[in-house]
Amino acid sequence: MKHNSTAQFFRTYGMFFVLLVLLAALGIAEPRSLSSTNAINLARQISITALIAAGETLIILSGNIDLSVGSVMGLSGVISAGVLRDTQNPVLAVIAGLLVGALAGFFNGIIVAKGKVASFIVTLATLGIAAGFTLLYTGARPIPVTDEAFLFLGQGKILGIPVPILIVAGVYIILWIVLTRTAFGTYIYSIGGNELATKLSGIGVVKYKVLIFTLGGVLAGLTGVVLVSRLGSGVPTLGSGYEIIAVTAVVLGGTSLFGGEGYIWGTLIGASITGIISNGLNLLNIGPYYQHIVTGAVVLIAILLDRWLRSRE
């Protein structure tokens, strides 16, 4: 029983202590990391990771995975930029980006739930399709964004707080309520924990799977819109690599890749860890190629730690 409680404690709170250790180590290695300017930049960077990882959390909790979130994020972002260019309507541009994400998520959910195809395979295919459409739509050239109202989403501040951080706070509060206070949240955990038992209990597993993937797509679309606003450009390679970043944040946050276990606030901690690692390596002048190696190693260690802790419970 002691082993069980210890393992559960580390699964729930372990990464919070890792976050504190990383912050302390980075502050010692590079005092510039503690400056207010770097802190704001780091928070903005983390907000993008946290936003796309939020949707991935729902999908992984349900016992699935979405490898297309990066490409869907990129496609949503450039479509949003393109609609803004053509219509000069920032509201319509945001809606277009969210709609693209929703349609991609709905497509994934239908194929996974009704077609009974592994989510890994389906979303890998969607990754390629979305990336291809992004290049076709942009002609492999960035789409500049100059509309002040649209740029406010990624560059503006409210009471001194960057808007992307406020968006993330709102999203996480809503998802926390959904996962802990609603029947839908209970179904997400139930499907991830034992899909067959959930189905036999009379719950519409297919319907909820489609909804989960659709919500994940909407959040990927929202991330693309916010990032385009932050950069001031719809870059064709906008979402490249974000699928591994999203999964890394979710796993580091304590959500099991096997589904049914995890907390939405843990994902925020996981996103913070990935952001601090990336920011720290940049401040220490460590090249981007090494950053990919470090990220991959962190994912592997997190998965092995997750399996070990599960075996101790």
Pairwise pLDDT comparison (274 vs 299), residue with the higher score: 274
Q: What is the pLDDT of residue 284?
A: 72
Q: What is the pLDDT of residue 9?
A: 63
Provide mean pLDDT across the span 157-181.
Answer: 94
SS3 (DSSP) at 161: strand
In this predicted model, what pLDDT tens digit does every residue of 149-165 receive, in sequence order? 999 999 999 988 899 99
Pairwise pLDDT comparison (8 vs 274), residue with the higher score: 274
Residue 2 has pLDDT above 50, yes or no: no
Pairwise pLDDT comparison (245 vs 298), residue with the higher score: 245
Read off the pLDDT band of 138 (50, 70, 90). very high
Residue-range domains of the chain with CATH: 34-312 (1.10.3470)
CA dist., res. 42 & res. 36, Å (int): 10
Residue 40 has pLDDT above 90, yes or no: no
CA dist., res. 281 & res. 30, Å (int): 10
Residue 239 has pLDDT above 90, yes or no: no
Residue 296 has pLDDT above 90, yes or no: no
Q: What is the pLDDT of residue 13?
A: 65
Burial bucket for residue 197 (CB in 10 Å: 0-12, 13-18, 19+): exposed
- Average pLDDT of the chain is 87
List CB contacts of 308: < 8 A, sequence separation 6 or more: none
Nearest CA among 116, 100, 123 for reference residue 206: 116
Q: What is the pLDDT of residue 18?
A: 75
**DSSP of 97-123:** HHHHHHHHHHHHHHHHHTS---HHHHH
Q: What is the pLDDT of residue 258?
A: 85
SS3 (DSSP) at 144: strand
Residue 312 has pLDDT above 70, yes or no: no
Residue 176 has pLDDT above 70, yes or no: yes
In this predicted model, what pLDDT tens digit does every residue of 71-120 receive, in sequence order? 999 999 999 999 999 999 999 999 999 999 999 999 999 999 999 999 99
